[in-house]
Structure 1
Amino acid sequence: MAKQKTTVGIINNETLAYTAGRDVELDHALITVDCIGTAAHVTMLSKMPVQPKLITEDERKRVIEGLVEIIGQAQRNKFKIQLADQDVHLAVERTLTKKLGDLGKKIHTCRSRNDQVAVDLRLYAKEQLLQTLDEAAALAAALVSFGRKNKMVPMVGRTHMQPGMPSSVGLWATAHAESLLDDCVGLINAYELNDQCPLGSAASYGVPLPIDRQLTSDLLGFGRPTHNVLYANNGRGKMENLVLSAMSQVMLTLSRLSQDLMIFTMPEFDYFQLPAEFCTGSSIMPQKQNPDVCELMRAKASRVKAAELGVYDLIKGSPTGYNRDLQEAKELFMEGIATTRASLRIMTPMIQGTKANKKKLIAGFTPDVFATDRALELVGEGMPFRDAYHYIKENLHELENIDPTEAILLKTHMGAPLGLDWEYFKGRIAAVKETVREERKAFNRAVSKLLGVKYPLK
């Protein structure tokens, strides 16, 4: 059976294909962060207090120049990861060795692919989480804008899907916005947990040379290094699972919003109208405009949750130390993030183009919707609540002439239809955007200093 020579030995071709899996394809998303991680590692090696120097200052500059060149190639889709490389790490090493000779062979000193992929995934997650926060804030802003525009439009509030009490479009829209803003808190928590540098842990047990893990962490713009070198690699999978958990909460909010939109755009309700360009037609029924985006979003919420559970299941019985099972977590991790981000990006313009049908929303009110409000008004006039409850239950006919708009005007306490604090929503959205701006600025500044060129590369 045919064999192939690789950087780490001669391997049977089928074994090579089986063990590389989809890394050759998926790792294209990690080329830039792998180069950034390597730049930090080589810089740290050049400052290590040993004689002779492992990496001289001139050699460090030459390596980083090579890494910047690879990043540029990756941006132009010109950098190739070959099956013999197995992954991005060895592809970068092979390329640098071809360009720099023996110097390229030095870059893996005091490092394992275990800590290398761990830092790559954390750097990848940093940017993906910031992008997700930006996109979640944009959707929250769209929902708040929709709610504010329709704040005086009455809407039947439902429990058990049955008419319950007077509500408003503003209350409905901002309920979903606030849910999404809470999801942003979860994303930020995941970001902070992810913001630890595992580089320098090597194969999980440290190395017998005086490496400076704090320096490496600082060079990469991390908040701090992971402390225990064994946990630095045991954190693989766990960290992906935590990030996916935050993503699945976003998808939970989007799924419930999608379900509402599917219900309330049915002809029997006709409360809202989705923009036609976000609906699809039927191959046989010319009149159809289907809410396929909402249906798929509901399904994709399950896919993201399945990715989270898939990673969890991969690691729950994994013994301490690196195990190759973790390779299978990468695809689930990337897919879960990509699905969440795509869902946020498509929902935002869909909400921006959605129209509220005030006439149909008001027509949805029947006298019984006002029962609870009227009972509470009687309580305000001195009647015990349970007596008021039974009186209204027996005299629903008295509620026939109540105006829905007048009914919501009475609900002025905090968070009620006429007590919504628009500045509260504006402030929370602005805070998310500011967090993204500051974190991205700090990271770009650190990487620009490390590479000696402005990052991101143009």
Structure 2
Amino acid sequence: MKLWDKGSSPDEKTDLFTVGNDRELDLLLVKYDLQASRAHARMLGKIGLLTEAETADLVREIDALMDEEAAGRFTIEAGFEDMHSKIEYLLTEKLGDTGKKIHTARSRNDQVLVALQLYLKDALSDVQHQVRMLFDRLLELAEKHQAVPLPGYTHLQVAMPSSFGLWFSAYAESLIDDVYLLEAARRVADQNPLGSAAGYGSSFPIDREFTTEALGFETMKYNVVAAQMGRGKVERTAATALAAVAATLGKLAMDICLYMSQNFGFVSFPDKLTTGSSIMPHKKNPDIFELIRGKCNLLQAVPGQLGLLTTNLPSGYHRDLQLTKDLLLPAVENLKSCLEMAHTSLGEIQVREDILDDPKYDYLYSVDTLNQRVLEGVPFRDAYRDMAAAIADGSFSPVKGAAHTHAGSLGNLCLDRIADKMAQACADPA
């Protein structure tokens, strides 16, 4: 069944090419298409395009389909082009001519727009919740291990003293920036496009304020052309926020892969969270974090792919836009799985507490030793030259245990302030 069927059908190759994998992807959106159809039916009844009985019948059958979807029993067979055609078919099968009226005053264009934006509102909120859970875990680990020393690196060269507390809380605070972007993307999606129809509105006296309130949107996309132009822009905005989370998570995964290697040996995990080798019995491979790293690298490409797909498209709908679902929906699901695995695995991370006992890390304290001489009255440039000379001739003697007291430093992690900042970032806008 095709909603645009005028009595003739394309050949099989055309059908396969144009439908693509819409049926599979639409299963993620059916819930939201049904929600929008329910609000649309109620609106049609409100303005008199449906009788009270027709409205009640449609709402009842849509509610039954929502129950089927929630139970995982809703399917889109090969005979249907997408979720829209399957839903209309089922309503017509149950209600006859009343079912045929559900498409009044709307188009597949605004149907998919509203379903996608409802999905993104939920998906971005879900991702934000998972980010908050990962943040909480990182902050707990920072509190637990705040005094455990860790070498800090620049250029992958030993640089300055750090700690596990500083490292864990660095990633925690970085996630706050990502929450800002997730919230911004959610607000872009939180604008009702339903009623824009094919992108130019309708001659029916529809009530868009009613559907905006019924669907829980903060506002509507008032201009109907702007609503249609949101297709692609909404997806790119969401993908940019997802990519920001992926960048933070991918960097954390890379650190863990590095720190798990025998050359570093800073952290480890139980055997159940690592994998072995088919020929090397000693191996404990960080496959979880390698896959997180790889998946997150690919996720960071999605905004660029969406940009390439939608750049130079004029206003109005174009079938190219169908392909945005192929890029965005799997990206959302992949990021969710990466966040879940990171949160679970970090709950069992084991940190090594004697790392800095190795004399190769003595040079970590060169800056602290230099700063001590400055505090004693030696000009900085003179102290720097003296320190460089001592390192060169082997007479350097590190000053360990220097106090780092300023906000955000090794000795003053400000974990409570970081927690407050995240709480504020996650608070609903007033």
Normalization by structure 1: what TM-score?
0.89
Segments of 4+ moved more than 6 angstroms: none
Q: Report how far residue 357 of structure 1 moved.
A: 0.4
Distance in 2 of aligned mates of 1:13 and 1:412: 71
Alignment of 1:263-302 (within 5 A): 263-302=258-297
Q: Check 1:361–1:344 CA distance in 2 against 1; reply closer, same or farther (3 A cut).
A: farther
For structure 1, the residue ranges without an aligned partner over 5 or more in a row are: 440-458
For structure 2, the residue ranges without an aligned partner over 5 or more in a row are: none
CA offsets per residue over residues 173-214 of structure 1, 9 Å max, x none? Answer: 111111112111111111111111100000001111221212
Cα RMSD (Å): 1.8
Partner of 2:4: 8
Distance in 1 of aligned mates of 2:257 and 2:382: 39
> Which segment is superposed worse, 37-46 or 74-83?
74-83
Partner of 1:113: 108
Partner of 1:423: 416
Q: Is the 8 A contact 2:267 2:349 kept in 1?
A: yes
Partner of 1:340: 335
Distance in 1 of aligned mates of 2:180 and 2:131: 11
Q: Report how far residue 86 of structure 1 moved.
A: 0.5
1:249 aligned to 244, 248, 272, which one? Answer: 244
> Which segment is superposed worse, 316-325 or 424-433?
424-433
Q: Report how far residue 366 of structure 1 moved.
A: 2.7
1:101 aligned to 96, 103, 107, which one? Answer: 96
Distance in 1 of aligned mates of 2:364 and 2:3: 73
Q: Work out which structure has the larger RCO, using CA pairs closer than 8 Å and 6 or more positions apart in sequence.
A: 1
Partner of 1:143: 138
Q: What is the DSSP-based 3-state SS (H/G/I as helix, E as strand, rest coil) of the residue aligned with 1:236?
A: helix
Q: What is the DSSP-based 3-state SS (H/G/I as helix, E as strand, rest coil) of the residue aligned with 2:151?
A: strand
> Which segment is superposed worse, 86-95 or 369-378?
369-378
Q: Report how far residue 323 of structure 1 moved.
A: 0.4
Partner of 1:449: none
One-letter identity of the residue aligned with 2:165: G
1:195 aligned to 167, 190, 196, which one? Answer: 190
Percent identical: 36
Q: Report how far residue 62 of structure 1 moved.
A: 1.5
Partner of 1:41: 40
1:377 aligned to 357, 361, 372, which one? Answer: 372
Q: Is the 8 A contact 1:134 1:432 kept in 2?
A: no
Q: Report how far residue 218 of structure 1 moved.
A: 1.1
Q: Report how far residue 361 of structure 1 moved.
A: 4.3
Q: Is the 8 A contact 1:155 1:362 kept in 2?
A: no
One-letter identity of the residue aligned with 1:139: L
Q: Check 1:164–1:7 CA distance in 2 against 1; reply closer, same or farther (3 A cut).
A: closer
2:405 aligned with 1:412, yes or no?
A: yes
Distance in 2 of aligned mates of 1:64 and 1:364: 74
Partner of 2:397: 400
2:305 aligned with 1:306, yes or no?
A: no
2:17 aligned with 1:22, yes or no?
A: no
Alignment of 1:438-449 (within 5 A): none
Q: Is the 8 A contact 1:16 1:83 kept in 2?
A: no
Alignment of 1:130-209 (within 5 A): 130-209=125-204
Distance in 2 of aligned mates of 1:412 and 1:287: 43
One-letter identity of the residue aligned with 1:388: A
Distance in 2 of aligned mates of 1:365 and 1:141: 34
How many residue pairs were aligned? 425
One-letter identity of the residue aligned with 1:8: W
Q: What is the DSSP-based 3-state SS (H/G/I as helix, E as strand, rest coil) of the residue aligned with 1:155?
A: strand
One-letter identity of the residue aligned with 2:28: A
Q: Report how far residue 399 of structure 1 moved.
A: 4.8
Q: What is the DSSP-based 3-state SS (H/G/I as helix, E as strand, rest coil) of the residue aligned with 2:160?
A: strand
Q: Report how far residue 426 of structure 1 moved.
A: 2.3
Partner of 2:362: 367
Partner of 1:448: none
CA offsets per residue over residues 245-272 of structure 1, 9 Å max, x none? Answer: 1111111111111111111111121111
Q: Is the 8 A contact 2:195 2:208 kept in 1?
A: yes
> Which segment is superposed worse, 300-309 or 31-40?
300-309
Q: Is the 8 A contact 2:363 2:398 kept in 1?
A: no
Q: Is the 8 A contact 2:110 2:196 kept in 1?
A: yes
Q: Is the 8 A contact 2:169 2:415 kept in 1?
A: no
One-letter identity of the residue aligned with 2:45: S
